[in-house]
């Protein structure tokens, strides 16, 4: 972990993002799609938090709700001391430079009718009072930073390859010197060889500029490479939040275990002997999640309590939080969290 004592830059508290469903002749409000359901976590300054989970589990929605591209239903998102979820539009606009986003599809995230320099320069036009010449200098500087040739400045997005386009997207996100960047599957649409380049670029920039990332991905090996801590999401809830090495060495939550067993093993000797945990059934609908634990319909270790009671995300080992009844055999009481992995020291990250 880069710096265990660094203060929290981002603090998400009970964040809920429900999309209302209207049905019937009168279009009455008949339910909600619970895309993100009561999610809490923190990200320290300079840290990379990986967010993994299968398609449709709410990863991207969480990332977008955190930057208030959607208006969250409930909860707080404190970034650098201010609650994003409650800022007025004008205050939010002023706050925008602190937090930026890199998008999944580099083709769709660049306006095809704008030249590269006007794309990278757009945030500068919106938020700074630079003269045209100063702005052009800053654009060149950003292009150097992400490894784009300055001579590309007047070209249009369709003239670039996927990796180059993603670099343009990163340059745009960097333009206003943000502290926090949400990377929404930035490598999912790229070739494997380009993926490594882009991830290394993100890491270099983090070292140089002290950025904090929320790295959303479904590529578990890439998350292992870049993240300091990893949150595993299932059906709108975080089921496990652990330091990277602990999670990959010994996942606690049954879902995390199943997910990690799907990672490809490059060594064929070991690949032959590895055991995959195959989950049965489909992801339940987020409009109608199970009454108890969200994972109880597919969990190989399900027991009675799972069907009736939602497990809370509690700390079961130093720095590791799990939402599973298996680890909460003792009823959690106020002030302490029970479990058979309980240790005396709850201080987050001390032994890491």
Partner 1 sequence: MSEQSTAIPKAQSQFGAVWRQFRVHRGAVFGLIVLGLLAAFVIFGPLFWPEVKLRVVEALKVKNQGPSLRFPFGTDQLGRDMMVRMMAAGKVSLAVGFVAMIIAIFVGTGIGILAGYFKRLDGPLMRMTDLFLSLPLIPLLLVLVMLFRDTIASVLGPELGAFLLIVFAIGITSWMQAARIVRGEVLALKEREYVLAAKSIGVPARRVILRHILPNIISPVMVAATLGVAEAIITESVLSFLGLGFPPDFPTWGRLLFDGLQYIQLYPERVIWPGLAISLTVLSVNYIGDGLRDALDPRIRGR
Closest distance to partner 1 from the beta carbon of 104 (Å): 7
Could you say whether residue 19 binds partner 1 (CB under 8 A)?
no
Helix 192-209, helix 162-174: angle, nearest 10: 20
Q: Residues in contact with partner 1, total (CB under 8 A)?
A: 38
Could you say whether residue 112 binds partner 1 (CB under 8 A)?
yes
- One-character DSSP codes across 156-218: -GGGS-HHHHHHHHHHHHHTT--SEEEEESTTTTS-HHHHHHHHHHHHHHHHHH--EEEEE-S
Contact segment (CB under 8 A) with partner 1 among 14-22, 80-88, 107-115, 235-243 equals 107-115
Residue of 48, 61, 73, 117 that binds partner 1 (CB under 8 A): 117
Could you say whether residue 82 binds partner 1 (CB under 8 A)?
no
50 membership: H or E segment, kind and range: strand 48-52
Could you say whether residue 111 binds partner 1 (CB under 8 A)?
yes
Measured CA to CA, the distance from residue 23 to residue 265 in angstroms comes to 47
Sheet holding 237-243, edge to edge: 99-102, 180-184, 212-216, 48-52, 229-234, 237-243, 320-322, 314-317
Contact segment (CB under 8 A) with partner 1 among 148-156, 285-293, 309-317, 344-352 equals 148-156
Please list, in sequence order, all residues whose beta carbon lies within 8 angstroms of the beta carbon of residue 81, skipping any fewer than 6 positions away.
Answer: none
- Please, which residue, 123 or 292, has the CB nearer to partner 1? 123
Q: The tokens of 157 are what?
A: 């997005």
Could you say whether residue 169 binds partner 1 (CB under 8 A)?
yes
Residue of 29, 86, 93, 291 that binds partner 1 (CB under 8 A): 93
Contact segment (CB under 8 A) with partner 1 among 8-16, 120-128, 211-219, 334-342 equals 120-128
Pairing of strands 8-23, 28-44: antiparallel
Residues that bind partner 1 (CB under 8 A): 64, 67, 69, 92-94, 96-97, 99-101, 103-105, 108-115, 117, 122-123, 126-127, 140, 150-151, 153-154, 156, 158-159, 169, 172, 176
């Amino acid at each position: 972990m880069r710096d265990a004592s660094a203060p929290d830059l981002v603090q998400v508290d009970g964040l809920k993002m429900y999309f209302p469903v209207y049905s019937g002749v009168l279009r009455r409000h008949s339910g909600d799609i619970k895309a993100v359901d009561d999610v809490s976590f923190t990200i320290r300054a300079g840290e990379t938090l990986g967010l993994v989970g299968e398609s449709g589990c709410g990863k991207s929605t969480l990332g977008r709700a955190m930057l208030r591209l959607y208006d969250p239903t409930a909860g707080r998102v404190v970034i650098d001391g201010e609650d994003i979820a409650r800022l007025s539009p004008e205050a939010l606009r002023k706050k925008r430079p602190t937090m930026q986003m890199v998008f999944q599809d580099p083709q769709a995230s660049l306006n095809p009718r704008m030249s590269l320099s006007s794309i990278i320069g757009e945030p500068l036009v919106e938020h700074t009072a630079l003269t045209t010449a100063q702005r052009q200098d800053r654009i060149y500087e950003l292009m150097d930073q992400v490894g784009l040739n300055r001579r590309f400045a007047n070209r249009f997005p369709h003239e670039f390859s996927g990796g180059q386009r993603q670099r343009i997207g990163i340059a745009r996100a960097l333009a206003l010197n943000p502290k926090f960047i949400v990377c929404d599957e930035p490598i999912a649409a790229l070739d494997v060889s380009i993926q490594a380049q882009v991830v290394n670029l993100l890491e270099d920039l983090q070292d140089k500029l002290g950025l904090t990332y929320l790295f959303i991905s479904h590529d578990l090996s890439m998350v292992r490479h870049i993240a300091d801590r990893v949150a595993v999401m299932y059906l709108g809830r975080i089921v496990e939040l652990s330091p990277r090495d602990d999670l990959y060495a010994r996942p606690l939550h049954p879902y995390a275990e199943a997910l990690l067993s799907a990672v490809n093993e490059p060594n064929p000797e070991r690949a032959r002997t590895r055991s995959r945990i195959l989950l049965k059934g489909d992801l339940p609908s987020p409009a109608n999640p199970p009454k108890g634990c969200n994972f109880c319909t597919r969990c190989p270790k399900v027991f009675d309590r799972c069907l009736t009671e939602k497990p809370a995300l509690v700390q079961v080992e130093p720095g590791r939080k799990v939402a599973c009844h298996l680890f909460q055999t003792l009823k959690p009481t106020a002030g302490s969290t029970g479990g058979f992995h309980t240790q005396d020291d709850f201080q987050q990250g001390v032994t890491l």
